[in-house]
Amino acid sequence: MRRAAVVLTVAVFFLFSEGGIPLPRTWGADTPGASSVPATARLSAVALAAKIDEHIAAKAKANKAVLAPAADDSELVRRLYLDLTGRIPDILAARDFIDNPAADKRHRLIERLLVHDRYPIHWANVWRNWLIQDPGDMQVMFLLPGFELWLQAQLKANSRYDRMVRDLLTGAGAAPGVPAGGSPQAFYQALQFKPENVASATSRIFMGVKLECAQCHNHPFAKWKRQQFWEMAAFFSGTNPGVGRGGFGGIAPLGSFTGTGEIKIPGTDRTVKARFLDGTTPTMRGGDTRVVLLDWMVSKTNPFFARATVNRVWEHLLGTGLVEPVDEESAENQPSHPEVLRLLAAQFAASDYDLKYLIQAITLTQAYQRSSRLAHPSQADHRLFARMKVRGLTPEQLFDSLALATGQKDEDQPIAPASPFGPFNPNTPRAEFLRRFPNQDKRTEQQTSILQALYLMNGKIVADATSLEHNRNLAIIAEAKTVRTSRRIEQLFLITLNRKPTPSESARLVKYVDGGGPTKDSARALCDVFWALLNSSEFCSNH
């Protein structure tokens, strides 16, 4: 409590805030993309980024919006590390990038981070939270370590996204060294092995179509009808947990699936047969009905699959989807930039569903690399992408960044950890921290960061990290009497915010530290500055 009162005025200085498959008739003939996705030649990531920026600039001009300038080097290096590796850069990485005079350093940094050891770790976090939004079931929690390690292996190998989805939904292709049952079982277990739940998740996550509202009745406003919901569920009508038939945790291998392609609508005497969302009837050749669905779903001529994926990744990287919300595209909720969505989807398909190519192209755009500072009232509408949106850190990003900034041990595990629970060990500080922040559809909302900040402000983690008795690295900086105070403050800024202080910030904080604060102890005063930086909204945000 004393610490909070002492440094409240210090913290104020660092608050950072936001100044060939036709679509079905029910989709809406006026919906962008309501035609076959044409085969197209693959562009380079640089060329694709340039075309995207042309469309965004034209839309901004039409709306009389002033495009924000490019983010400075310190702002961008932090953003790229958070988005591609899941945590802030260390002080050396930040300094090296800021001081590097090379004209192509931004492009080169993106290339390096996409092969960084932490890329698969971070994006496995991202995909796990998209695929399993409620891991509260104990059996799901038991399966999650293997599931995340399976995702890490797929991402490290840069597996084709369509193959990754196919393996997930059919249970094929377990990665070497991954605990048995770790890949598809967690996904199915979280959905209780119910065909209707699996169908809802599959259509929402992989095709951007939210069918849940049609499960029990025809919604008065939604295009999708109850019949279509259960026709989709019929593809998974053979899904069952197979308890007692072996497998991991009593769950049978999903390869044993035997679907009929038919399902009875609950509360009725009607039985419906599986049909695709475009209204066409599949040709069942016997065997796994899910494979029939997947053959249609991941086809390069399917307009749903690529569009849904590029929109979800775009929303994650820029804070706002081209279609927002990401799983509710309709005639009433059309893309803000239909040309960008069509272009990205076509190029993602042309790249053979290469996720790294997609991420590289988006992060190379001027839209992604713009400053987040509000410099003109016309930049307030985030759907114009005239400036970068300030995003809250996910719980994983915040803890891992905090651990790096305070010199704590990295708890992330390699692809094949010695412990079967790996990073999900429930007794670690990381696991305890993550339990405090439940999953949600949009994990980068700034409200999440407010909750995180309150926990940090009053929690033991930061209290210990900003204590001379518990943080030896901080003690060394604080006790380095031969180093100028301004230099020590600069080090703390680079460690936490990955930038140097402004002249005004430096002058005020040098005066505070040299004066010793309320305790008249300059070392303790420097700890107060460190505490304020870690608790600032700038530290808790991706901007």
Specify whether 253 is located in the same domain as 277. yes
Q: Does the residue 488 lie in any domain? A: yes
Give residue 129's domain range.
123-297
Helices 2-12/522-534 angle, 10° precision:
70
Q: Does the residue 498 lie in any domain? A: yes
CA 151/CA 149 separation, integer angstroms: 5
Q: Are 171 and 210 in contact (CB under 8 A)?
A: no
Question: Where are the alpha helices (H) located in 63-160, listed in sequence order?
Answer: 73-85, 91-99, 105-113, 118-131, 138-156
Angle at 152 between CA 52 and CA 174, to 5 degrees: 120
Q: Does the residue 359 lie in any domain? A: yes
Q: Does the residue 31 lie in any domain? A: no
At residue 469, the pLDDT reads 77
At residue 514, the pLDDT reads 94
CA 128/CA 88 separation, integer angstroms: 21
At residue 227, the pLDDT reads 81
CA 188/CA 143 separation, integer angstroms: 11
Specify whether 404 is located in the same domain as 526. yes
Specify whether 422 is located in the same domain as 503. yes
- Distances in Å between the alpha carbon of 539 and those of 15, 436, 505? 9, 19, 16
The DSSP bridge partners found for residue 262 are 273
CA 37/CA 509 separation, integer angstroms: 57
Beta carbons within 10 angstroms of residue 160's beta carbon: 16
Q: Are 424 and 478 in contact (CB under 8 A)?
A: no
Report helix, strand or coil for 450: helix
Out of 264, 297, 330, a domain closes at 297
Out of 388, 418, 441, a domain closes at 388
Q: Which residue has the tokens 């595990």?
A: 413
Q: Judge residue 84's burial from the number of C-beta atoms within 10 Å of its C-beta, 0-12 exposed, 13-18 middle, 19 or more buried.
A: buried
CA 13/CA 355 separation, integer angstroms: 39
At residue 420, the pLDDT reads 39
At residue 20, the pLDDT reads 33
Specify whether 144 is located in the same domain as 291. yes
How many folded domains does the chain comprise?
Answer: 3
Q: Does the residue 22 lie in any domain? A: no
Out of 388, 404, 439, a domain closes at 388
Q: Does the residue 67 lie in any domain? A: yes
Q: Does the residue 33 lie in any domain? A: no
Beta carbons within 10 angstroms of residue 484's beta carbon: 10
CA 376/CA 64 separation, integer angstroms: 11
At residue 322, the pLDDT reads 97
Residue 89 makes CB contacts below 8 A (sequence gap 6+) with: 77, 78, 81, 97, 498
Specify whether 437 is located in the same domain as 482. yes
Specify whether 108 is located in the same domain as 132. no
Q: What is the DSSP string of 287-324?
A: S-HHHHHHHHHT-TT-HHHHHHHHHHHHHHHHSS-SSS
Specify whether 219 is located in the same domain as 309. no
Specify whether 284 is located in the same domain as 191. yes
At residue 452, the pLDDT reads 66
| Intervals of the chain under pLDDT 70 | 1-39, 135-136, 172-184, 212-224, 239-258, 409-427, 438-453
For residue 41, give the H/E element and its range. none
Specify whether 364 is located in the same domain as 437. no
Does pTM surpass 0.85? yes
Specify whether 137 is located in the same domain as 112. no
Residue 331 makes CB contacts below 8 A (sequence gap 6+) with: 27, 28, 30, 31, 223
Specify whether 314 is located in the same domain as 451. no
CA 345/CA 357 separation, integer angstroms: 12
Residue 384 makes CB contacts below 8 A (sequence gap 6+) with: 56, 59, 60, 63, 65, 336, 378
Q: Are 16 and 449 in contact (CB under 8 A)?
A: no
Q: Does the residue 105 lie in any domain? A: yes
Specify whether 265 is located in the same domain as 207. yes
